[in-house]
Structure 1
Amino acid sequence: MAFVEPVTLQARGVRLVPLGLEHEAGLKAAAADGELWKLRITSVPEPYETREYIETALQTTNRLAFAVTDADSGEVLGSTSYHDIVPALKRVEIGYTWYAARCQRTHVNTTCKLLMLTHAFETLGCHVVGWRTDNFNHASQRAIERLGARKDGVIRGHALRRDGTIRDTVMYSLRAGEWPEVKAQLLYLLDKPRH
């Protein structure tokens, strides 16, 4: 049995289901909301690349990709993944995360992180969960820091961007002992009245 098995996670009107080719049209529509592929610092596929994006995710052995969907309608809102899964260390990273523009700055990302972190720490027994992001993706860095993750450092000259430039990667992590306080904060944020 693999350390991370396909699973469906659901709460607060958001459902994470294992990504499949049946999500191609929905992913295209979600990415089109905001033309997200035009951002040079993200992994959002261009419309003609969506099928290849899904196939690559499915073929990557240390990745479990999810379609983020509306629990009631089934509409695809975006995608996220566990990746760089290291069973021997009981470590996963959360990434390849993006949402349709209309879902950004809503409860969707907080709910997804609550679901994925709860599963990682409370079901898989992870010792640590990590994140990585482009050094110029300041919105992503702020979102990761709002979760309570700690900045581990920057790996310089680490990866290629879609435009061929070389990026520095900012690394973050959250340890199992920090999870109870982070969980309480995520639940607080989700239950807080919106004005």
Structure 2
Amino acid sequence: MAFVEPIVLRDRGVRLEPLALTHEAGLAAAAADGELWKLRVTSVPEPQDTRAYIEAALAGREQGHRFAFAVVEDATGTVLGSTSYHDILPAVKRVEIGYTWYARRVQRSHVNTTCKLLMMGHAFDALGCHVVGWRTDNYNFASQRAIERLGARKDGVIRGHAPRRDGTIRDTVMYSMRSGEWPEARTQLLYLLQQHAQKA
């Protein structure tokens, strides 16, 4: 039995469902909103690579180290992006959340906060994780701010850690949250979502 079993998570008009080849066209359309593959600090696939991107995610799921979701607008079925559990370590009950990206039109909306609330809640409350982690490019300052807003703590920087799409080598900033920190983080995320709803 896999540590992360297939599940659909939904809240506030957003649905996370297991990524599948049927999401190919929707995922390509989401990436095209903002030509996200042109950002050097992200993992967004170029249009012609979308199927290979999904196949790689499915291979990771089969091997037990990654579980990818399509982020979908619940009312319309429109694909908004993708996110994953990865570096899944059942022995120590740890997962990381990453490979996350969204169509430009829903960036800075409630979508990312909702997805993180769903994924962190599932990791801590259903899977019994002790730790949830994040990693990001040292130059992806927007990602670092977003992770810090979740209440995660910076663990440190792994220097010369991974290649970027342009061939340069990145330093990776590592973050984590322990299960004891989750109740306070959840309260803060719910507060942020309430604030966003009042502005909408």
TM-score, normalisation: structure 1? 0.99
Give the superposed CA RMSD: 0.6
- Trace 1:84-163 onto structure 2 (pairs within 5 A): 84-163=87-166
Structure 2 equivalent of residue 17 of structure 1:
17
- 4+ residue stretches of structure 1 with deviation over 3 A? none
Distance 1:99 1:194 in 2: 21
Structure 2 equivalent of residue 186 of structure 1:
189
Distance 1:124 1:84 in 2: 15
Q: Which amino acid aligns with 2:185?
A: V
Is 1:176 the counterpart of 2:179 in the alignment?
Answer: yes
Structure 2 equivalent of residue 52 of structure 1:
52
Is 1:81 the counterpart of 2:89 in the alignment?
Answer: no
Q: Which amino acid aligns with 2:24?
A: E
Q: Which amino acid aligns with 1:52?
A: A
Q: Which amino acid aligns with 2:114?
A: T
Distance 2:22 2:127 in 1: 27
Identity score, percent: 76
Distance 1:37 1:75 in 2: 19
Secondary structure (helix, strand or coil) at the match of 1:81 reads strand
Q: Which amino acid aligns with 1:159?
A: A
Secondary structure (helix, strand or coil) at the match of 1:170 reads strand
Q: Which amino acid aligns with 1:55?
A: E
Distance 2:137 2:95 in 1: 18
Distance 1:186 1:40 in 2: 29
TM-score, normalisation: structure 2? 0.97
- Trace 1:20-31 onto structure 2 (pairs within 5 A): 20-31=20-31
Distance 1:3 1:99 in 2: 26
C-alpha displacement of 1:194: 1.3
C-alpha displacement of 1:191: 1.0
Which segments of 5 or more consecutive residues in structure 1 lack a partner in the other structure? none
Secondary structure (helix, strand or coil) at the match of 2:41 reads coil
Q: Which amino acid aligns with 1:9?
A: L
Distance 1:160 1:151 in 2: 21
Is 1:39 the counterpart of 2:39 in the alignment?
Answer: yes
C-alpha displacement of 1:53: 0.3
Q: Which amino acid aligns with 1:72?
A: A
C-alpha displacement of 1:6: 1.2
Distance 1:183 1:9 in 2: 16
Distance 1:3 1:80 in 2: 17
Secondary structure (helix, strand or coil) at the match of 1:93 reads strand
